[in-house]
Amino acid sequence: MHGINQELTFTPVNIAVMTVSDTRTLDTDTSGHLLAERVTEAGHHLAARCIVTDDKEKIAAQVQTWIDDKEIDVVISTGGTGLTGRDTTPEAITPLFEKTIEGFSVIFHQVSFQSVGLSTLQSRAVAGLAKNTFIFALPGSNGAVKDGWDKVISLQLDSRHKPCNLVELMPRLDEK
């Protein structure tokens, strides 16, 4: 059966949330707010939250700090995945990946297509793995965050999700 098996145990993980935006503050960062709210509501720990400007070096430095932090299991960013000149989140974080999770982009676009149609091709949602840390980059719109979290990431970060999920893989990520 696909889906959540309620009889299994939920294992919380530590998730850091990063908003990429030149203009938002904590008072106006709606997509970061709703991501942070849903992370904690799902039962996970919000390990950190910040806003960084659309600056490739700053984005990469923040994500690298979280990759190096053994307490942080997952990084999720929102924003900077579009096609305009200032959109550089994928360029900033994909060089940090040891493994790219190509399927995430495929599935995200399938889900997002149901909501926004062809507009989904203008966002470049990506995911990867670096030093035992899962990294997801979502677009900056509230709708994209809801699609990405509710329909994809939250399920893969739920240890009760069958037949597979990312949390059960965590102990095996540094197998040699």
Partner 1 sequence: MSDRCVRLADTPFDVDAAAAAFRQSVPSAGAVASFIGQVSPESGDNPVEALFLDHMPEASLASIKKIASAAEARWPLLKLMIIHRVGRVETGQPIVFVACASRHRRESFEAVEFVMDFLKSDVLLWKKEIRATSQTWIEPKTQDFADKQRWETEICTE
Residues at the site binding partner 1, with contacts judged by CB under 8 A:
27-28, 30, 33-34, 37-38, 41, 141-142, 146, 150
Under DSSP, is residue 120 helix (H, G, I), strand (E, B) or coil?
Answer: helix
Check if the beta carbon of residue 36 is closer than 8 Å to that of residue 48. Answer: no
Whichever of 22 and 71 has its CB closer to partner 1, that residue is: 22
Whichever of 28 and 53 has its CB closer to partner 1, that residue is: 28
- Residues 71 and 169: their CA atoms lie apart, in Å, by 16
Whichever of 20 and 67 has its CB closer to partner 1, that residue is: 20
- Residues 37 and 163: their CA atoms lie apart, in Å, by 27
Whichever of 33 and 44 has its CB closer to partner 1, that residue is: 33
Please report how close the Cβ of residue 34 comes to partner 1 at its closest, in angstroms: 6
Exposed/middle/buried for 141, CB within 10 Å: 0-12, 13-18, 19+?
buried
Please report how close the Cβ of residue 32 comes to partner 1 at its closest, in angstroms: 10
Residue 123: closest CA among 101, 111, 140: 140
Please report how close the Cβ of residue 24 comes to partner 1 at its closest, in angstroms: 10
Please report how close the Cβ of residue 27 comes to partner 1 at its closest, in angstroms: 4
Please report how close the Cβ of residue 137 comes to partner 1 at its closest, in angstroms: 19
Check if the beta carbon of residue 78 is closer than 8 Å to that of residue 125. Answer: no
Cβ density class 101-115: b for 16+ within 10 Å, e for less: beebbebbbebbeee
Whichever of 48 and 144 has its CB closer to partner 1, that residue is: 144
